Amino acid sequence: MRDMECPHCVQGFHPSFVSFRLETKVEKRENDCILYYDICPQCGKYIIYNTFVEKNGSYFSGTDPTSIENLTRMFPRNKNHK
């Protein structure tokens, strides 16, 4: 695991994203949505990513920032305020 740069305060931190599948009872869904989030220990702000996978498909655990950066960032929507 490498450190990553917080998109809010631009300080490096050691990421540990929590990942989970959004639960739904709707069988006729196109795919599954996976959410990843962490909170920067320097500024205390949320960093949230998402991706879509096949129905009941596998997804990576979210501890590798190089993989995280390939996903869609939902929050913050703009990069590096500084």
CB 57 → Zn ion: shortest distance, Å?
Answer: 31
- CA-to-CA distance for 44 and 35, rounded, in angstroms? 19
Residue 67: what are its φ and ψ, rounded to 5°? -75, -40
Instruction: Pick between residue 42 and residue 70 the one whose CB is nearest to Zn ion.
Output: 42
CB 40 → Zn ion: shortest distance, Å?
Answer: 3
CB 6 → Zn ion: shortest distance, Å?
Answer: 3
Residues forming the site for Zn ion (CB under 5 A): 6, 8-9, 40, 42-43
